[in-house]
Amino acid sequence: MKIRTILALGALILNSTTIMAQEKVKQTAGRDQLGEFAPKFAELNDDVLFGEVWSRTDKLSLRDRSLITITSLISQGITDSSLTYHLQTAKQNGITRTEISEILTHLSFYAGWPKAWAAFRLAKEVWQDDTQGTDAKAAFQREMIFPIGEPNSAFAKYFIGNSYLAPVSTEQVPVFNVTFEPGCRNNWHIHRAKSGGGQMLIGVAGTGWYQEEGKPAVKILPGTVIHIPANVKHWHGAAADSWFAHLAFEVPGEETANEWLEPVDDEAYSKLK
């Protein structure tokens, strides 16, 4: 009798634990929007997809389900209100601003660059409130999805003004977000390589400049892509009156190394318009 009682109690505890592990997801969007027009579809959406599949949190967490869902939508090029909803849900399910930035960056290589750009626009709005503060730096952070990062102390001696560095991805192709305060620019430098090598920049926010030795400076705006060949002397940085950020991609090569040279001349820089 005692053994049966213990076994029954154990089964009750196990069942209760399983129930507690499941988080019931409630959804009414189907009935709210299509209840009269397509009642069966509304039922499947609210009761089956969300009420049963999404609620199986003992099998797969809500966070992971959000990650799978937004990946699927973006891969199909779906960047309408449904993606906004699932981005908001992903945020509620614990995906942070830094993580969504990394997720979309990684996904861009597999789903396509234009699709990622479209998704970043929506994600930027969803996670905008995560950046607090009223100073110029905080205001600039709210303009872009990528984090500003930490002061670029290791390379500060090669910059005029303050810059910040945030690793976006260290797998496959290393990607860093580099942020420059107004007027900040790096010294002339060369990406040396025996073969391959060089660097690619993509403007993220604000206004900046890129210049190769002997050529006019080129303005960098959000979406501008700059291809920097190996063994070419150049510099890049912010405009005098604007914060600026770009993604930096290191191009693989043989015997690669950076050679830092003299600062950009103040007089020449001041003439850039």
pLDDT band at 42 (very low <50, low <70, confident <90, very high): confident
State the helix-helix crossing angle for 97-111 and 81-92, rounded to 10 degrees. Answer: 140
In what helix (H) or strand (E) does residue 125 lie, and over which residues does it extend?
helix 113-126
Query: How big is the chain, counted in residues?
Result: 273
Write the pLDDT tens digit of every residue in 199-222.
Answer: 999 999 999 999 999 999 999 999
Name which of 246, 210, 225, 242 is nearest 140 in CA terms: 242
Mean pLDDT across 24-47: 85
How much is the pLDDT for 129?
66
Cite the DSSP H helix spans in the chain: 2-21, 29-34, 39-43, 62-75, 81-92, 97-111, 113-126, 136-141, 266-270
Percent of the chain with pLDDT over 90: 56
Give the rounded distance of the alpha carbon of 176 from its chain centre: 11
How much is the pLDDT for 30?
82
Q: Please state the pTM of the whole predicted model.
A: 0.57
Name which of 143, 153, 208, 146 is nearest 180 in CA terms: 208
Residues 176/239, Cβ–Cβ less than 8 Å:
no
How much is the pLDDT for 220?
97
Question: Which range among 23-27, 30-34, 46-50, 158-162 has the greatest average pLDDT?
Answer: 158-162
Structure tokens at 90: 């992903």
How much is the pLDDT for 172?
80
Write the pLDDT tens digit of every residue in 186-205.
Answer: 999 999 999 998 999 999 99
pLDDT band at 137 (very low <50, low <70, confident <90, very high): confident
